[in-house]
Amino acid sequence: MCSSKSQNPKEWRFTWEAQSHIPTIRLYLFNPHIKPASDCAHLRVGTSLEQYVLTVSFNGNEAESPVEISLRVPIPRVLVDFESPVHSRLLDDHIEVKLGLLLPVDHPLGSNFDSVLNSLKKDECGNEILASDGVNPLSACLDLQRLSAAGEVHFYCRSCSTKLTRGIRTFKEMPSVHWRDVADNWFGTCCCSFGGISEKLVLNYARSYLCAAGLCLLSESSVIISVEDILEGKLPSRSSTKKYDSDKSDLKSDDIKYLNRFTFGNVNDLQKTLHHEDLCEGVQGFKNSHYVNCCTIGSCENPLGQCESSVDFELPVNQKIFLNGYLGDVFMARPSNLSKDIEWIEFFCPKCAHLLGAYPSRNSHVPLDGGVRLYKFYISTSLPANGVHDLFRNYTFERVFTSLLLGSAKDELSFRTVVRDLHNQYHSLQIVLLNPNTWSHAGLCLHAIEPVPKINVYPAIKVLFSPNISDVQLEPRNVEWVTKKQAQEVYLLPSQMKELIEYLENAHNTYPPSHTFSHGFSVSSLKT
């Protein structure tokens, strides 16, 4: 029976949802105390073009005096076709309403209909964005350009506005996460196929990760700051690290100059830089050097894979560990990116104890490479945080995780992910990507006297998720799910794992209770 609580619109929740390229938008309207299919009757739906509001009315099934309920739901700023029929139905745990659109929500005009005269613009990296779009795409390339042009930059805790670093003026892109694969794929592992170049690239990569005062390395999700630039924070002092001296090494000055072209950057940068003359230069250099001691270019006297190069990897201990695996910023790290010799220590704000980042350590909690990874979604570049001058204002944990998850799914052709705790290696979460092209908005219904707010639908991905509440190793059934379904594995810091589960559970609560599937999987979404 329709309870008295159903008369309060605030007891009713709504979620608008649309799919890219489809000119319809769907409304889920539900109340945890009501079963519309049995408790409500005579459903009526009306739309108001002037107020851009949807009115949903129905009668409660009370025998003596049925109560009429009227709910007001703001319509997102999309191009609704008010002349098309409105489809509605009463389901067991929610009311569903479907409206037709003149244009899909992801159309440049439909997504911002009150600014239809605005044309598409391009940012400094060539990405197309809407002129009035409030949520710009995340771009490490754009961050690098803006930070470099800003002069001196300080970083602040986004939570309490504490200044974290000294002024920094030099910014460079973090070395590619695919550094070893790039070197081997382009030059091969045998000296006949420029294996010497591959080894030199690997050696140069290891050196490039040492942090220096006044230098900031950027990745998609974080910045690496030298401990010497950290103003506050309890960091153990590290012993002086032996610096690499090219004059005392086996590498010639010409080789160092040639390799420095590849110190920073990603795979695309390397591909763009390698031209025919570069390869010829590299071949000629190796012909005239002592690196090729087992064969000559073009013919090998040793079987493939048995060539030995005389490049001497004399590196300090803290740098040799980099050769065993990529360290990066440990956000959504892969199994191949981790090393059993390295422990990741969480770094917290000295004032409010909010998580800011992490750093690698081998023992005694001393930063291994002299650097701390600060995540962009926990820091700001100016005050107030998230203000117009904050270059990281568009970064949130949710958006960065979603961006990397989508990129990983595209590269690995896998829509299933197991997220593990970085510290204990336990499985904590399973995620299945359902739809990467969803737009949604959730909220509470309005009273009749309340003004109608302007709302937008935001791009998101729709997922299934299943958290491991008991924090134990995977059950045999779940292990089979990982292996047979070829699920990818990623790692998060414990506090970030908790934050991710909270995001998913909160978003799940914006859907009707029926949006839960078998085997403990529930429907949720993450903003992109």
* pLDDT grade for 336, boundaries at 50, 70 and 90: confident
* pLDDT number for residue 323: 61
Among 113-117, 194-198, 389-393, 507-511, which stretch is predicted with the lowest mean pLDDT? 113-117
pLDDT digits (tens, 9 = 90+) for 204-253: 666 666 688 999 999 899 999 999 999 965 565 544 333 333 333 333 34
CA distances from 428 to 51, 176, 401, 502 (A): 45, 28, 16, 13
User: Which of 92, 56, 94, 65 has the alpha carbon at shortest distance from 4?
Assistant: 65
- Distance, C-alpha 164 to centroid of its chain: 23
Q: Which amino acid is at 198?
A: S
Bridge partners (DSSP) of residue 357 are 347, 374
Query: Distance (Å, rounded) from C-alpha 235 to C-alpha 508?
Result: 39
The percentage of the chain sitting over the pLDDT mark of 90, rounded to a whole number, equals 45
Rounded to a whole number of angstroms, the distance between the first and last alpha carbons of the chain is 40
Give me the mean pLDDT over the 435-450 stretch.
92
Q: Are 334 and 490 a contacting pair, CB within 8 Å?
A: yes
Q: Coil, strand, or helix at residue 399?
A: helix
* pLDDT number for residue 320: 65
Bridge partners (DSSP) of residue 380 are 156
Bridge partners (DSSP) of residue 2 are none
Judged on CB neighbours under 10 Å (0-12, 13-18, 19+), 47 is middle
Query: Distance (Å, rounded) from C-alpha 256 to C-alpha 254?
Result: 5
Predicted structure pTM score: 0.77
pLDDT digits (tens, 9 = 90+) for 382-400: 999 999 999 999 999 999 9
Query: Distance (Å, rounded) from C-alpha 355 to C-alpha 233?
Result: 12
Give me the mean pLDDT over the 463-470 stretch.
82
The token pair at 498 is: 């908790």
- For 184, the enclosing helix (H) or strand (E) is helix 179-187
Give me the mean pLDDT over the 162-178 stretch.
85
* pLDDT number for residue 161: 96
* pLDDT number for residue 442: 96
Q: Which amino acid is at 110?
A: G
Q: Which residue has the tokens 């917290």?
A: 348
Query: Distance (Å, rounded) from C-alpha 332 to C-alpha 63?
Result: 57
pLDDT digits (tens, 9 = 90+) for 57-114: 998 776 555 788 899 999 999 999 999 999 999 999 999 999 999 999 988 775 555 4
Q: Which residue has the tokens 């568009």?
A: 394
pLDDT digits (tens, 9 = 90+) for 353-383: 999 999 988 777 888 888 899 999 999 999 9
Bridge partners (DSSP) of residue 216 are 171, 225
Q: Are 523 and 515 a contacting pair, CB within 8 Å?
A: yes
Query: Distance (Å, rounded) from C-alpha 272 to C-alpha 337?
Result: 25
Q: Give the contacts of 20 (CB within 8 A, at least 6 positions apart).
A: 104, 105, 106, 437, 438, 439
* pLDDT number for residue 427: 78
DSSP assignment string, 198-266 = HHHHHHHHHHHT---TTEEEE-SSEEEEEGGGB-SS--PPPPPPPPP-GGGSSS-HHHHHHHGGGSS--
Query: Distance (Å, rounded) from C-alpha 125 to C-alpha 217?
Result: 18
Q: Between vectors from CA 256 to CA 322 and to CA 220, what angle results, nearest 5°?
A: 45
Helices and strands (H and E) in the chain: how many: 11, 24
